[in-house]
Chains A and B, each alone.
Chain A
Amino acid sequence: MFRVKSVIWIAALFFVLACIPFVAHALDEPFYVTFFARVLVYALAACALNVVLGLAGLVSFGHAMFIGLGCYTVGILSYYGIDNGWIQLLVCIAACVVVGVLVGTVCLRTSGIGFIMITLAFSQMLYFLMISLTEFGGDDGLNIYAPSDFGFFQLDGSSEVYWAAWALLLALAVFLLRFRVSPFGMVLRATHINPRRVDAFGYSVFGVQLASYVMSGVITGIAGFLLANLTAFASPSYIAWHVSGELIVMVVIGGIGAVTGPIVGALAFLVMEDVLKGWTSHWMLIMGPIIVLIALLGRNQFAWLKACLKRPAPSAGPARPIASSSVAGESL
Chain B
Amino acid sequence: MNAAANPLALRTSGLVRYFGGLKATNDVSFDIAPGELRAIIGPNGAGKTTLINLLTGELSAHEGRIFIGSNDVTAQPIQQRVGLGLLRSYQITSVFDAFTVYENVCLAARRKQGLGFAVWKPLTGYRDIADKALRVIQDCHLGDVAHVTADNLAYGQRRQLEIAMALAADPRILLLDEPMAGMSSAEGAAAVEMLRSLKGKYTILLVEHDMNAVFALADRISVLVYGSIVATGTVEEIRNHPEVRRAYLGDDEDA
Residues in A lying within 8 Å of B, measured CB to CB: 1-2, 175, 178-179, 181-187, 189-190, 193-194, 196-197, 199-204, 208, 211, 321-322, 325-326, 328-330, 332
Contacts and interface: CB of A to CB of B under 8 A. Distances in A.
B97 interface: yes
11 contacts: A182-B119, A184-B118, A187-B107, A189-B99, A193-B97, A202-B79, A325-B153, A328-B145, A329-B156, A330-B154, A332-B156
Nearest to A192: B98
Interface residues of B, number: 51
Contacts of B103: 186
Contact of B153 (A175, A181, A211, A329): A329
B132 interface: no
A202 B153 CA distance: 25
A189 B121 contact: no
Contact of A1 (B56, B122, B157): B122
Interface of B: 56, 58, 78-79, 82-83, 87-88, 90, 94-99, 103, 106-108, 110-111, 113-126, 141, 144-145, 147-148, 152-154, 156-157, 160, 165, 169, 186-187, 190
Given A187-B115, A326-B152, A329-B154, A201 B82 contact: yes
A252 to B, nearest CB: 18
B118 A183 contact: yes
A178 B88 CA distance: 30
SS of A interface (majority): helix
B195 to A, nearest CB: 15
A196 B119 contact: no
B120 A182 contact: yes
B79 A199 contact: yes
A202 B111 contact: yes
Contacts of A203: 79, 111, 114-115
A1 to B, nearest CB: 5
Given A182-B119, A203-B115, A321-B148, A193 B98 contact: yes
Nearest to A326: B154
A216 B147 CA distance: 30
A204 B152 contact: no
